[in-house]
Amino acid sequence: MADQPNSEERSVSPKFFGSFIHDTSFLGNIGGTVDLLLIYFRDGLTDDQLSILRGIGDQLTAVQKTRDEIGAELTGIDNLPVSALVQRVDMVTAPLIPISEDAKFLLEGQNLSEQQRELLEIIPRTIRMTLDYKGEIVLYSDILDGKAEPRIEVVNIFDAVDEALDFMGAKTGDGKITIKDRHCQSIKQLVYKSEPYIGREKVDPVMVSADRVMTRKIVHNLLSNAGKYSYWTDDVALDTNQSEGTVLFSVENCCEEVIPPELHERVFEPSYRLPGTEAQGTGMGLYFVRRMVELQGGRIYVESGRRDRTSLNLKWEKIVEKGQGHPYARFSFMLPAGSKPNI
């Protein structure tokens, strides 16, 4: 029987755990990495190193089984106490810590080839991102309860982009996305494989006064949505503007349909999803994004329409029909500017 909440504890939908299962599907990258090392890149590895790798594979199989069993347990449950959800996430994440330590131990080996080292580095990086999820549940619960307090510091917004792309690169298995700024200069190219993203180019820092964790989650949500709902092209455009002590950060993608003006506010409502996306996610992502922006003294809004010209590399010219242009969605948030670092 599912845990029952006490009178003072908030309950959340088990869809949050469903989201966790989806977001941790990239744990399969670890299994794939272990298989590659054991089958194709084992030359030069000692018997002890191979034994540790097999142990990592066995432990990971057990973790994934636990995760799937909990997902099945929560199917059909209407709500769950936050503490019970965190407990279940712990059951999945706690066993990952020794797996990460084993991988770090292997990385100390002096006999590793460059390719073996690159593959092994995937394991602790992927696990680190998984461990972040418990903190995310607690943060979102605090937001719902009105208890969240941002820790304001000076943050480079492109550090948040880096971290978000790193997360997206670890959890996605195929395809690619090119992040561009408004002047068509490539900022990042993210190749969705088990390797880290490539194509870094130097970008001038854009500093905001913000909570580092919240800002990273805001940027990650917007970039993830833009990549998920892009249509006709894999490109996502980024734009930053600074004026009067504020920084405006925008994420734009080419979408399938224009978002009607009457829905521009509704997309930020809890559990609301645009028509055609009802089966995806929890419908809470943009609600939490708005709350995190507002907690930091900022604001967020969406624009949507059609463009005849764009910085995005459209794959099919046929979408520009009779001068109507292609549909786009542009999410922008504004935060207080931070002082620039001494470079």
Task: Write out pLDDT tens, residues 265-275.
Answer: 999 988 777 77
- Residue 297 in contact with residue 335, Cβ under 8 Å? yes
Instruction: Select from 245, 154, 157, 152 the least CA-distant residue to 205.
Output: 157
Find tokens 């820790």 and name the residue.
151
CA distance 239 to 310: 13
Phi/psi for 23 (5° steps) reads -70, -20
Flag whether pLDDT at 311 surpasses 60. Answer: no
User: In the structure, what pLDDT confidence band is assigned to residue 116 with cuts at 50, 70 and 90?
Assistant: very high
Flag whether pLDDT at 330 surpasses 90. Answer: no
Count of CB atoms within 10 A of residue 46's CB?
Answer: 10
Segments of the chain assigned E as strands: 11-12, 80-81, 152-156, 176-181, 186-191, 207-211, 235-243, 246-254, 299-307, 326-336
Angle (CA) 134-135-139 rounded to 5° is: 120
CA distance 126 to 128: 5
* pLDDT for residue 113: 93
CA distance 189 to 168: 12
Instruction: Select from 125, 83, 134, 124 the least CA-distant residue to 101.
Output: 124
Q: Which two tokens stand for residue 38?
A: 């054991």
DSSP 44: T
Query: Roughly what angle, to the nearest 10 degrees, separates helices 47-74 and 82-93?
Result: 160
CA 144 centroid distance within chain: 20
Dihedral of the alpha carbons of 45, 197, 66, 97, in degrees to the nearest 10: 60
* Mean pLDDT for the chain overall: 77
The pTM of this model reads: 0.71
Q: What is the mean pLDDT of residues 168-181?
A: 48
Q: What is the mean pLDDT of residues 113-141?
A: 82
Flag whether pLDDT at 184 surpasses 50. Answer: no
Q: Which two tokens stand for residue 105?
A: 């131990």
DSSP 25: G
Dihedral of the alpha carbons of 94, 191, 241, 163, in degrees to the nearest 10: 20
pLDDT per residue as tens digits for the range 220-247:
889 888 877 777 666 677 778 888 889 9
Q: What is the mean pLDDT of residues 58-78?
A: 86
pLDDT per residue as tens digits for the range 70-89:
888 887 787 788 788 888 88
Query: Which residues, 6 or more positions from 107, have their beta carbon under 8 angstroms from its beta carbon?
Result: 117, 120, 121, 124
Angle (CA) 50-54-60 rounded to 5° is: 145
- Residue 236 in contact with residue 225, Cβ under 8 Å? no
Flag whether pLDDT at 9 surpasses 50. Answer: yes
User: In the structure, what pLDDT confidence band is assigned to residue 131 with cuts at 50, 70 and 90?
Assistant: confident
Domains present along the chain, CATH in parentheses: 11-145 (1.20.120), 152-336 (3.30.565.10)
User: In the structure, what pLDDT confidence band is assigned to residue 183 with cuts at 50, 70 and 90?
Assistant: very low
Least confident of 188-192, 203-207, 247-251, 327-331: 188-192
Instruction: Select from 225, 301, 221, 314 the least CA-distant residue to 268.
Output: 301
Specify the pairing of strand 246-254 against strand 299-307.
Answer: unpaired
